[in-house]
Structure 1
Amino acid sequence: MEEDTDFRIRFSSLCFITDHVGFHGTIKSSPSDFVVIEIDERGQLVNKATDEPIYKMSKGLPEPNNFAKKTKLGLQNLVFEEGGNQKVSILVRCSDDDQNHQPGSEKEDAIHDGTSKGEEEKVYALGSLLDEKTNELLDQFACDIKEKWNSESELTGPSPEFSLGRILDKNQRAILHSAIRQKFPFLITVGKNSEIVVKPNLEYKELCQLVSEEEASDFFKYLDAKKENSKFTFKPDTNKDHRKAVHHFVNKKFGNLVETKSFPEANYNAGNPNTVITVRFREKAHKHRKRCVESQERKVIYTAFTLQKENLEMFEAIGFLAVILGVIPSDFSYAGLKDKKAITYQAMVVRKVTPESVKNQINDSANLRERILEAIENVKHKGFVNYYGPQRFGIGRKVHTDQIGLALLKSEMVKAVKLFLTPEDLDDPVNKAKKYFLQTEDAKGTLSLMPEFKVRERALLESLHRFSMTEEGCIQAWFSFPHSMRIFYIHAYSSKIWNEAVSYRLATYGSRVVEGDLVCLDEDGDDEQFPNNKVHLVTEEEESANAYAIHQVVLPVLGYNVQYPKNKVGLWYQEVLSRDGLQTCRFKVPTLKLNVPGCYRKILKQPRNLSYQLIEEHGIDVKAEGSHIDEATLSLLISFDLDASCYATVCLREIMKHDF
């Protein structure tokens, strides 16, 4: 998925205070996975009437091997929400893989390795390996699927299937798998023992809603060919949101097999900045292939292992193993299907995977539990960098709230209005209205286009229609917003600078408290409410005596009534203000009746009352050459309290070492 570049850069550059490895995972696949409860002035949860959290947590830390078993596969997309002073209960589905991917038996069947034979030979294989009647029925099945899709009628009931019958020769089956997918990329082939079953490729249909049918066909042929060091490029695209959708589709469906990147089209001009999405196979999909020393030809490697599964369909288990080993379901051989509702043991063979790679996956999975527990304990004792969370700035938007705040601080009122009304690359009524306004500055005409539910936009436009699109008219238009909304944008800019400042402070001095740092002398004071007389400038003697700890260090949030550090960090603040044209700014905007005194914010915070539990969601046991793996998707159930103005996602970022 293509991300907002500026947003991604500013948050990927933020640092960590802890030194554990971290892990990948997904947050909030359902609303009950992310529970936020405010804490009142007496320290009580505001839902005290029920006195029951969504998840019952043990007061003490449960034993690491205390796992509740469920049958569940899959990871969902990241979604975040949180409040201020809060108690947070969160369910995180954990993975040590680099991609958030949702495996499933159907989608994995769409990715088969195929042979390296040419296109003509593959098509010829259908005529040579299938009898005339079977070929005709296959063509008719393909035509029926295409006709239903072209008529936009839904395929109701179970997915239609066409069986080619049993093909006893393994090499012939491999050739047929690839030949069918090359000729009919809108179909997938599934191996059931020696039988080949053909089904509609639902991912193909989904991709056709984003790109042309020609591109979709070429993309799935590229996946099937699976040629080393090859690339596939979608057609140039100027629509950023459309590119995001294509990135998201490819990474969600095939993220463990391929990776995507966006590049400016070669020889593009500034007036037409086309961007292309390039897809390439991940290196791990080919790293197990070796060359014979004698003939320099491909050598096929086979590894035998024992599969133990519990309450799981065979095709689900194979799909899951294919993902973690970087192969495809047809690379597995086995002697038959075993019951789902049972604990079964079964001899299996996987090709193109060395025993060493299986062992590596075993070690990775075994280490995942240890990494999770180490990460939580680390943050519990050392804390996390107290960044303002990404939702403060507007995730995934062309214009972030801090950009509007900077324009207001510089009294660029017309620019601020235009930034507020900047459209996204979407073709919905709201963005059509915004596009019309930027093209015409016709507030009255834009009002007729703007949907009624966009209350703030309509209030601004009504003022502009009354006062005109002049500097004074835009000042009046901003008064259509309440004071809290106007000052919110100023605070967003200050928050952005504070995030950058703390990253610079930690990169420059680390966890040492040095001369010129600012420290808080009031341990009981509320965060961001420290008066100047409670903020102390560290002296050279105090640095030498280690008089203060890093958790006491604060940095100023921009305003007219704050002091700055007297070291390199203070100089950094001045350089940044100069960079943004605010070297003479007093953080007062009298025309909008905005006065920003500023405050201080601790650079580190610690979660309180932290408890957690690991939950094993399903089990697949693999044994190979004396090694053992219990392949399970883990869920981490974690609960903690945070002070006001802290962000739960920022705490989770430190635990997981993962930028959301």
Structure 2
Amino acid sequence: MLPAFSYLTEHTGFRGTIKNSPRDFVVTELEVPELFPRDTSAELLQKTSETPPAQSSPCPREPKNRRTEPPGPGPPGCPRDAAPGPPGRGPRRAGGGCAASPGKSQSEGDPELPSGLGEASMLESLLGKPASELLNKFACDLKDTWGLENNVNAGTREFSLGPRLDKKIRADLHSAVRQKFPFLVTVTKDNEMIVKGNPDYRELCQLVTEKETSEFFKFLDAKLENSTFSFEPDGNKEHRKIVHHFINRKFGKLLETKSFTVTDVNDQPNMSIMVRFREKSWSRKRSAGGFQEKQDVYTAFTLQKENLETLEAIGLLAAELDILPSDFSYTGIKDKKAITLQPMVVKKVTPERLKEIGNKMEKKGMKIYNIRPAYQHLKLGQLKGNHFDIVVRDLQHHSHDSSADLKERISEAVESVETKGFVNYYGPQRFGQGQIVQTDQIGLALLNEKMVKAVKLFFTPEDTDDPVNNAKRYFLQTEDAKGTLVMLPEFKVREKMLLRALNRYGVNHEGCTKGWLNIPHSLRIFYVHAYCSKIWNEAASYRLKTYGSKVVEGDLVCLEENDESISLNDRVVLPMVGHSVKYPSNKVGQWYHERLAKDELELCKFRVSSLQLNIPGCYRLILKNVQNLSYFLESSEKEIKIEDNHLSDLKVSLHISFDLDPSCYATVCLREIMKCNF
């Protein structure tokens, strides 16, 4: 349930109805081209095209710089508190780049420091240019010391990248550093990232060339499914044995090795060592020609659904295909009361099998397009954004608006939001709009570890007479899990998973805990994220009511964008509650503590170990902008023509299209445009 909304803009707005039918609200995921590199020619998922398609994480990635003040000396990327006066940028720290000084001579085939443009630009975007230059200098100096024998400091030198609280940003940094500098490793100490030399890299350099060592560690870091790495041909059996032992000793849990016959540069038979990742899906049997594989089958497709929740649609598909809902992956959860198109990948199902069920699924409100082989799952958050095509019907003035020109009101409203943006609230569909029990209430019960209460909230029926709600009503009255299982339709997979555990362990604290553990982790944490989203919405309303939309002392701001044209007011963020976030040092921070205490969460660690839930938290921009906005007005054919630009006596519809970033809600944007709630 949403709190009292605050508005960002001052125009009057207008009234109208949305989602008159699912066809009035069409959502299409914007494709992320790198997810499907075979064909990146189309940006939108087109249901009639051959273009491969690409839920949403609870919030975008955490800012690297979360507080702002005129920065003083210190490692780039440190959080800053806001201070009076306009925040400025600190002095750039000098750090020269240098040519590599490899530990071995170039005549031995050793490379210079890797200098891939992709890794370099990634590091610079994550660290900023000064810190990136300092890191490059550290790497050069370290390689210089490796080239000096008897240097006692070679293995002890370290370089700090400063505090990095967001796990996603740390992961990106870990990867970018290792890909550009394979001879370095990154470690985290109390959220501070430390870079130092990789002793395993140095040891392998004593056994093979540095070129092979560099390529081996890049292969190791990439962890590409089904990939292999081969060392140069080596006719010395004893030396091969040493290399085998090194890899097995250092990486035996992750990698396996095998010697096989190759033809060397002189067209003579020789032996080489092949390395590959151990995978549960691979067979341990080996054929004479190498590794015998048993790979999982992945199939990608575009799902169009109408008047269905994403998870409900997955339940129907899973029941029809006789697989688990967890075998499906997607990048975001879409509206129920809409027509939505989104990419999905399903494991253990061939394209042919998926095509077979197409007609059955159409009868249940789904269509399946663009079916093709894939190589891996999709991940939540791998989303560029969404495109919306919306029809707002029955347009009219607000009751307090005396203007006679409705067309002018609409134009004014759309242009105002296009220019100034909107408050980035979580939309009502995140909380189960219109339901008696909303998802955030279940999430709060889980955080408070009130497992029985959470189960009963989960099974609270709506005021309708249908098989699903009748089964829920029966369970609350009798606590007969076995009987309820019989009553529920097959596609209610979550409910059935939970009930099976309750039938076995009982409807008590232990049984309900095991019941929640019986459903996928992504579904358990979904309810907790709903609660965290509700708190964020309330915090945003309090922040805007207390301070307005301008940045003030004590705010948290995101400085990861390098675009100087972006106003600091558009960078203010609020934390999604969790165990690894910092709160504003002004009144908003105190509000968070008081609000959590109201829900008995003042001592909550935001880790529910009994449910394997870990909620670190993140940060979300208060304000957002809309992109590629266009609109037109359409009058009913039965109405008279528009004259003198006045629409007050006509039934007209607004057709509006726009793009939004991931985790932004079209209903929230429309609310800002129209100045009304839905």
Could you tell me the TM-score, scaled by structure 2's length?
0.47
Superposition TM-score, scaled by structure 1 size: 0.48
